[in-house]
Structure formats: structure tokens, C-alpha cells
Structure 1
Amino acid sequence: MGYCGPKYTYEATNVEILILFAAGLLAGALNSLAGGGSFVIFPALLFVGVPPIMANATNTYACLPGYGSGAIGFWQDILRHKDKLLVYSIIALVAGFLGAEALLRVSDAQFEGLIPWLMLFAVVAFTFGGQFNQWMANRRTTSKNGARTGAIVTTVFLALICFYGGFFNAGLGIILLAYLVLAGYQDLNAMNGLKLLISFLVSITAVVRFSMSGSIEWQAGTIALIGATIGGFAAAKLSYLLPASSIRNFVVVYGFGLTVYFFYTTYFA
């Protein structure tokens, strides 16, 4: 079973091309500096008229190259944990595909009702992810029985996170960092690399499933993708000009404002 929404053909106007490209630029810059780029691309796609499920699938496609290029940048750090890569890859590919499949089994109207709650979850995860990671790090157990139970719990946790990532991409990175802390990682470079690799695998299997069902708006997504690629590269070069904490605070305020907007338009407008 695939995407059940209406057949949709999109032709961007010049103004919409500018909107999508600008959204991509900003999203790419935010992802390089602090994260939260999906909070820009996804609503921009909705704003130009892409239906909700297609906008969500297209957002996953637009974010894909950033995950891949980031993982390549951390490849040497990732390889220090190559004993985990096969298991992580299988979980990411299977659970990501199942998450994408689940998305394609709901209607646009049903998904519209979920958007405010998904946004709220993603923004809360983004806002309090650091504190949550520290809380879990302080409660890791090293006993034999605790380690065995912890391994089972973390595996299930990773599968649920990857399922979420296939269903709704926003906030995936920070939730993966929480998983990696729970799994016992301490090297920040390795954690960032594994986070990006798992995000890439989740996203690529979701994009494959979405493309099979015709639920990606390729023109709009590619415009945003190009903008995100340029914005991410430029922001990385200029990152020393702006403190990451200020960028992060902007994302938090913007994300919560956007969430309030979605709640209002879904339930009160």
C-alpha cells in the first residue's frame, strides 16, 4: 500500500522558487550551526502549497545530502566503532523504511492533525536534549545484569527513534544523540558521526519508499536541497561570527512559535 493522497503536480512560481531556496539556505545554515533545519523547510513546503504528507516526505529528501556529507566528514571517528555499524545500519534501514510506510498509510487530513504534536515533540527534544542526555549519562549502570538489560532497552530505543525518523524527520538528530549517550558513548565527534550516519540511512530508506509511492515533490525538494547545501557550507565557513548558543535560542523560539501556529490552525482556526 502506498501514498493514498490525491495526484498532485507542482509548478513553482518565481516567488515560490525564491521562498524555497531561501528556506533551504536558512535550514542548511541552522543545521551547520545548531540544528533544527527541518523546522524551516517543512513549513516552507506547506506554505507554497505542497500537501502535508508530500511536504514531510520532500523535507526528508531535502535534508538527505547534509546527513551524508556530515557523516563523510566524521568518517574516521565513525570507524572507531565499526563493530557496531552493521547492527546500527540494519536497524536504521528497516525501522526507517517501516516509519516511511506508516506515514504513507495515513491520509493528509489525519497527518495534519498529527503535525502540531509531532512539532511539539521535536521542539521539546531539541530544547531539552542536552539536559536529557546528561540525565541519562548520570543514570547509566555498569553492572552485568544492568548492562544486559540496558543493551535490550537501547536497541528497542534505537528502533523506535529510526521509526520516528522515517515517519517525521524533524528532531531526529538530537534524539539520536540521547540514544548514543544512553548506549555509553562519550566521544562527541564519534557521537556526531554516528548520529549523522544513522540519520542518513534512515532518510535514504525513507526516500526510497517515498519515491516508490510518488510522494516526493522533486522540484520543490530539489530547490530547497540546493539552498540547504549552499547554506550549510557557507555557515560552516562563517560559524565563528555567530555564537552557537544564540542560533540555538533562535531555533527554540522559532520552533515553539511555529508549534503554537500549527496548534491554532489545526484546532482553533
Structure 2
Amino acid sequence: MIAQLTFLCATAFVAGAINSVAGGGTLLTFPALTWILGSTESAAVIANATSTFALFPGSIAATWGYRREMTGQGRWITPLIIPSLMGSVVGTLLVVTQPEKQFQQMVPWLILVASALFLMQPAITRWTGIGKPHAHPSSQLLAGIVLFQFVIALYGGYFGAGIGILMLSSLALMGLGDIHQMNALKSLLASAINGMSVVVFIAYQRVDWSYGVPMLFAGIAGGFVGASVSRRLDRNVVRWVVIAIGFGLATYYFTRVYGIGQT
């Protein structure tokens, strides 16, 4: 028990640090929890809920860190936070109310999608012009962005790794040109998505408290350490490490869940 808890806390610490630098911490904590909790169908759901709970404070801390950049962004909060909350509830309810085997079978695909998002991040940045000012969106484009935010939140409530990349792309299309303001809004929306997801997971008793609480504090500590050393780290190196881990895990879960490559 002590060895398992130490392993999970160490994983959460590293995940918190990675989230503060490049994102992708879920790709570490989720498989670590499934390894400890076992390969049953219910274990995958509990691992997802516990991982979300453990890493949730990181988005709140990031929001607080960007509080100054939130000035003047009020006009974007209301149209985006409502679909964020609604989508998160729907996505998380799909996890806790649908057959657990269904989520277990989705795990390899979810990890593959998250890994692909991190792989395509530079291309997405160039395509959407993240960090460059755009004209304010038309009412039709804004409606599309609100709908897209709902879809992002739906995915975020269901699994969540890589939602930051998607939201930055959406915010770029809204005409925001200041990357710090974009990160501020992204952190706020991620807090709403993850927070609502945690509420639903707790209500349905899917969080393993014996692992989740220690991992939560380890993740907070990792986030602080990661933030303090981030200026000395090469974000691209960290991103490629996350990508390699993600695709490796996707291969492992495809093999385990679907028996691909087994004779």
C-alpha cells in the first residue's frame, strides 16, 4: 500500500509539473491509477475520476495566477462558461451512467486522440494564429465557437487530456491576440469543466479518496515546482516526452483492451 501510494504521488507530482509547463499530465496519472487499481471495467472509471480530482487544483491555481489578465475579458466569460459547464456535466454523466465496459473500450482511443492533439499542437497554433490578433468574430462564427466549446467540454468531462490545446485554438478564432489573456480564459474554462466533472464524480462515488487526496497534494506541489523551473525547461522537449508516453500508452491499451497483436 505504501509503495503504491508513493508511486501514485510521484506520478501526480510529475503530472502537476508537466501541466504547468506543457500540459498532458492526465496521460501519466490515469494509466498509473489503472495499473494500481487493476484491469477491471470499473477500475478504468474510478481511475478517470480520481485522476480528474487529483489534477483539478492545477487549473484553479493557473486561473489565480492569471487573474490580472482576466481584466476586460468579461464579455467572453458568459458565452463560453455556460457551454463549458453543460458539456462537462453531459460528458461526465456519460462516464458514470453508461456501461463501464464502454468506457474501458474507449480508453485507447481517448489516449490516442489526446496524444495526437499534442503532436499537432504546432500545426494547430499556426492554423488558428494563436497569439496573433484577429478581427472580432461574426455572430455566426461566435455561435459556432460556443458550440465547439460545448463539444470540448463534453470531451473534457469524459476524459479531458488535451482540452487546453482545443480551447486556445477556439479563443484565437475569437480575435484574442494576447497569449496571456488567452491562457487566463483557458484556465478559467478548464476550472469550470474539471470542477463540474469532479462534482459529478463525487456525487456518483467514483473517486478513490485513499489515492485521490494524497495525489491532489502531490500534484499541487509538482505544479509549484514546475512553474518555478519552467523558464529553464525546453517546452518542446517536455511536449515530445508527453507525446512519446501517450502513443506508447495508446499502443499498450489497444493491445490490452482489444487483444491487438496477441495470438
Paired residue type of 2:192 = L
Gaps of 5+ in 2: none
Paired residue type of 1:198 = L
Residue deviations 1:147-206, cap 9 Å, x none?
232112111101110111111121111111121122222110011111111010011111
Give 1:141 shift.
Answer: 8.5
Residue deviations 1:36-90, cap 9 Å, x none?
1111111111011160011111111111100001001101112221112122222
Q: How many residues of Structure 1 are paired with residues of Structure 2 in the alignment?
A: 254
2:255 aligned residue:
264
Q: Structure 1 residues 74, 141: closer, same or farther in 2, change over 3 A? A: closer
1:163 aligned residue:
154
1:22 aligned residue:
10
**Hey, which bits of structure 1, 4+ residues long, moved more than 4 A?**
140-143
Mapped partners of 1:240, 1:197: distance in 2: 23
Native 8 Å contact 1:45 1:55 kept in 2: yes
Mapped partners of 1:217, 1:250: distance in 2: 28
1:111 aligned residue:
103
Native 8 Å contact 2:79 2:146 kept in 1: no
Q: What is the aligned-residue identity percentage?
A: 30
Give 1:241 shift.
Answer: 3.3
Q: For 2:25, which of 37, 51, 60 is the aligned residue? A: 37
TM-score calculated relative to the size of structure 2: 0.91
Mapped partners of 1:44, 1:117: distance in 2: 17
SS in structure 1 at match of 2:138:
helix
Paired residue type of 1:62 = A
Is 1:238 the equivalent of 2:232?
no
Paired residue type of 2:148 = F
Gaps of 5+ in 1: 1-12
Paired residue type of 2:37 = G
2:48 aligned residue:
56
Paired residue type of 1:220 = Y
Give 1:142 shift.
Answer: 5.4
Mapped partners of 1:248, 1:142: distance in 2: 30
Q: Structure 1 residues 141, 148: closer, same or farther in 2, change over 3 A? A: farther
Paired residue type of 1:58 = T
Native 8 Å contact 1:33 1:235 kept in 2: yes
